[in-house]
């Protein structure tokens, strides 16, 4: 199985980040980490049981490194061929 993990904050979608923020209410650190790895890797919680502890810890570390990076503000971007931008006030 090939797993793609975020290498930096730009690899994390807005939807993933919003789901991650909801997960922060979970008080059990083990449950939080499992759901975090599942969210950012696409591996189901059931499939995570088959992942070795070493691989699981490496995935968790890479996700945490990506989340710890600061985001760069981009004032202009293209979406489906249309350029958008922010107007300073």
Do the domain assignments include residue 71? Answer: yes
- pLDDT level of residue 40 (50, 70, 90 thresholds): very high
Question: 76-79 and 82-85: which strand pairing?
Answer: antiparallel
The pLDDT of residue 88: 79
- pLDDT level of residue 34 (50, 70, 90 thresholds): very high
Do the domain assignments include residue 4? Answer: no
- Residue-range definition of the domain harbouring residue 22: 9-85
pTM recorded for the entire structure: 0.79
Q: Is the pLDDT of residue 57 over 80?
A: yes
**Count of structural domains within the chain:** 1
The pLDDT of residue 2: 81
Query: Which residue stretches of 24-82 are H helix?
Result: 29-41, 45-48, 53-68
Q: Is the pLDDT of residue 73 over 90?
A: no
Do the domain assignments include residue 2? Answer: no
């Amino acid at each position: 199985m090939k797993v793609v993990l975020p290498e930096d904050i730009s690899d994390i979608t807005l939807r993933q980040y919003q789901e991650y923020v909801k997960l922060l209410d979970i008080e059990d650190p083990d449950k939080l980490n499992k759901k975090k790895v599942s969210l950012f890797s696409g591996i189901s919680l059931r499939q995570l049981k088959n992942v070795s502890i070493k691989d699981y810890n490496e995935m968790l570390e890479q996700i945490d490194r990506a989340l710890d990076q600061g985001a760069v503000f981009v004032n202009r971007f293209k979406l489906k061929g249309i350029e958008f931008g922010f107007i300073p006030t």
